[in-house]
Amino acid sequence: MPSSNNQTTPLKREILVRIIKAFLKEDFEENVRLIPYEMRPKGCEVPFRCCVYKERAIIKDRTIAGLGISIENDDEQTLLSTYAKQALEREKPDENTLTVLEAACKGCVPSRVFVTNLCQGCVARPCVGACAFGAISIIKGKSVIDGKKCVGCMKCVKVCPYSAIVKIKVPCEDSCPVSAIAKDKNGNAKIDFVKCISCGKCVKACPFGAVHEKSQIIDVLQYIKSDKKVIAMIAPAIMGQLPCTPQQLHYAIKQTGFDEVYEVAQGADITIKHEAEDFVERMERGDEFMTTSCCAGYNELVTKHLKEMKPFVSHTKTPLYYTAEIVEKEHPKAIKVFFSPCVAKRKEAQLNPSIDYVISFEELGALLIAMEIEVSTCKELVFKNQASKEGREFALSGGVARAVESLIEEDMIFKTHHINGLTKESIRELKKYAKKGECSLGNLIEVMACEGGCIAGNSTMNSLKTAFKQISDYGEKTRLEKLES
């Protein structure tokens, strides 16, 4: 299984593996209760925290999240076995898809722009001149920043000749493009779900792994164990995650107990067609530009923070929507599970009655380990419904725009502009386009919440470079097979 440079990833994976193994054994509840003690037995070497008890407390919290339950509701007295029982008994997953592990949260200092002791109190005082908000003054010959006036524009940081002004970052807060995560009164991170767009950037950014997805793996495993038919819908980005062919991955997923496996790339082909038609219609009526609509994080951004952009967003649904529609028609009574690269798709699934559960790529990796399935040695199983090269490359930044362009007539003006990752800066850029009603850089704006595309989602396991190559190779092979046929 591919490893990550982030050492919190193997830890999360190990806990998920243990939860799954506990489910596959007898006495699930008791086996879950023992997870912290088996991982950190008495007298063991403590790798991360001050003592074995702190380590166990954090492992307990991670296990609660792995069971799909909010840490915020834990009273510290409830046993893990009780939470395991709750996971078995719940009828549907929690609405909020993320939870913060208070025991793991470092309680970082507040994020701010700060003047260090390197300040020389120079006569030029470029920092004062650069600040348009009057946030910098000179006190006793040194620059001082008024935090109430500072907007974090960083202009003072750029102009200081001594590099004396720095931005003190809190990784989770700094990564959030909509300021949805901040400290509570106790100094721990807290997510404002009214603002949150479920982009998952805070999950990926936290070096302590304190922001955690709430897993739905137990819900799915219960259905697999039952007589209910369970269908897997796999995102295009998954083809870049594991050391195997797509056909081997297909076989491996069926070995875990899924009855059928659908590529969401076939839904992407429907998205391409509709998005191209939408683009042509808008350009012919005189619209200046259109943005794509396949990224769930971007769609949440428009709904919650960027309503002025709504008239410019394509009316086309996401590839997952169209795939779920196909599966619903062919298997109306089945349980439908999406395999996702990011937390944003969990939110999208909640709004679509044709999607029952979401499993992240990380959870799939844990499932394969727990069931001792080695994907690289699996047989190959061809997908029943074939997708196009363009649909299979949707996961790459620029892939959506290239796919739409392939269906546009040559005589129509088509110029793309890429928002390759949602940040505070790129959101300001989008606001500017919406306010003006035009974008000089292009008439089709492809928006991806993650830099690099879906292959950079918070739940992905492979490096961008490797994932990009694997998916590009799959797309090219698809193109050649189509030519041969």
The share of the chain scoring above pLDDT 90, in percent, equals: 84
Predicted confidence band of residue 1 (pLDDT cuts 50, 70, 90): very low
Q: Is the pLDDT of residue 369 over 70?
A: yes
Q: What is the model's pLDDT at position 48?
A: 78
Strands 181-183 and 189-191: antiparallel
Alpha-carbon gap, residue 292 to 108, rounded angstroms: 37
pLDDT at 305 over 90: yes
Given a cut of 80, whether residue 6 has pLDDT beyond it is no
| Residues sharing a CB contact under 8 Å with residue 316, sequence separation 6 or more, in sequence order | 271, 274, 275, 278, 293, 294
Q: What is the pLDDT of residues 153-168, one digit of tens each?
A: 899 999 999 999 998 8
Are 278 and 287 within 8 A, CB to CB? no
Lowest mean pLDDT among 39-48, 391-400, 415-424: 39-48
Residue in this structure with the two tokens 């998920």, named with its chain if needed: 16
Share of the chain above pLDDT 70, in %: 99
How confident is the model at residue 152, as a pLDDT? Answer: 85
Residue 2, pLDDT > 50, answer no
What is the C-alpha separation between 153 and 133, in angstroms, rounded?
10
Is 3 a residue whose pLDDT tops 90? no
Choose the weakest-confidence range: 43-57, 65-79, 467-481.
Answer: 43-57
Predicted confidence at residue 294, as pLDDT, reads 94
CB 272, CB 380: distance < 8 Å: no
pLDDT of residue 319: 98
pLDDT range class, residue 185, cuts 50, 70, 90: confident
Whole-angstrom Cα distance, residue 238 to residue 235? 6
- Kindly state the DSSP code that residue 216 receives in the 8-state scheme: -
Mean predicted confidence (pLDDT) in 96-121 = 88
Comparing CA positions, the residue from 275, 246, 241, 279 lying closest to residue 263 is: 246
Residue with tokens 């990784």: 171
- Does the pLDDT at position 424 exceed 50? yes
Closest CA to 406 of 475, 337, 304, 484: 475
pTM: 0.91
Mean pLDDT of 108-135: 92
Cα dihedral 410, 295, 180, 190, rounded to 10, equals -160
pLDDT per residue as tens digits for the range 222-255? 999 998 999 999 999 999 999 999 999 999 999 9
Q: How confident is the model at residue 4 (pLDDT cuts 50, 70, 90)?
A: very low
Q: CA of 347: how far to CAs of 196, 300, 342, 343, 359, in Å?
A: 11, 9, 10, 7, 12
pLDDT tens per residue, range 186-221: 888 999 999 999 999 999 999 889 999 999 999 999
Domains and CATH numbers, the chain: 8-107+174-214 (no CATH), 112-168 (3.30.70.20), 219-484 (3.40.950.10)
The least confident of 48-52, 116-120, 230-234 is 48-52
Phi-psi domain of 165 (left: phi exceeds 0; alpha: psi -120 through 50; beta: other): beta
More confident residue, 483 or 273: 273
Could you read off the pLDDT of 252-285 as tens digits, one per residue? 999 999 999 999 999 999 999 999 999 999 999 9
